[in-house]
């Protein structure tokens, strides 16, 4: 089992000092590799205090991949438990994933992961777009950002 990191994960979290609570943000990541069974693609870093609104997965057709997991370290199938990536397409957790994943708020930083269950014959690309908003109280020192009047 190997772990492949997108450029978004390698670069880390973006500065969120200007992100007001309730502001909807999007971060994307892409990995193109010749995956083997049980490989993990780390695609998008998710900041502490982010409420995930939707996860969209865009993929090339992956060989024999009818039960792909999409989630994070704490819950590898939080957004999709058996996503079929055997055909090229776009998938939305908001419309296809488990309803329990909607509006999940991260107490700590996390990374969106995709676990590939089958070995691929060629390099295939997986892209993820995570739409999230920052919730009230997510900044470490709100007094610096929102000074008292």
40-71 confidence digits (pLDDT tens)? 999 999 988 888 888 999 999 999 998 899 99
Asked, for residue 33, whether it belongs to a domain, the answer is yes
- Residue 129 is predicted with a pLDDT of 96
Name the pairing type of β-strands 80-83 and 68-71.
Answer: antiparallel
Stretches where the chain sits below pLDDT 50 are 140-149
- Residue 121 is predicted with a pLDDT of 92
Asked, for residue 88, whether it belongs to a domain, the answer is yes
In the chain, the number of structural domains is 1
- Integer Cα distance of 98 and 108 in angstroms: 22
Structural domain containing residue 62: 3-13+23-134
Does the model's pTM come out above 0.75? yes
What are the start-end ranges of the E strands in 8-146? 24-33, 39-46, 50-59, 68-71, 80-83, 89-92, 104-105, 110-116, 124-134
Quote the tokens at residue 30. Answer: 């892409």
Asked, for residue 140, whether it belongs to a domain, the answer is no
CATH number at residue 76: 2.60.120
- Residue 143 is predicted with a pLDDT of 46
């Amino acid at each position: 089992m190997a772990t492949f990191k997108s450029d978004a994960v390698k670069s880390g979290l973006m500065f969120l000092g200007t992100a007001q609570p309730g502001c909807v943000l999007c971060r994307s990541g892409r990995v193109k590799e010749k995956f083997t069974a049980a490989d993990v693609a780390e695609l998008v870093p998710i900041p502490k205090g982010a409420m995930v609104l939707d996860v969209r997965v865009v993929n090339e057709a992956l060989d024999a991949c009818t039960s792909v997991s999409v989630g994070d370290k704490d819950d590898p199938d939080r957004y999709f438990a058996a996503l079929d990536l055997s055909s090229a397409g776009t998938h939305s957790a908001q419309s296809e994933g488990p309803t329990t994943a909607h509006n999940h708020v991260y107490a700590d930083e996390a990374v969106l992961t995709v676990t590939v269950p089958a070995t691929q014959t060629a390099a295939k690309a997986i892209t993820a777009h995570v739409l999230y908003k920052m919730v009230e109280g997510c900044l470490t020192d709100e007094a610096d950002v929102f000074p008292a009047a």
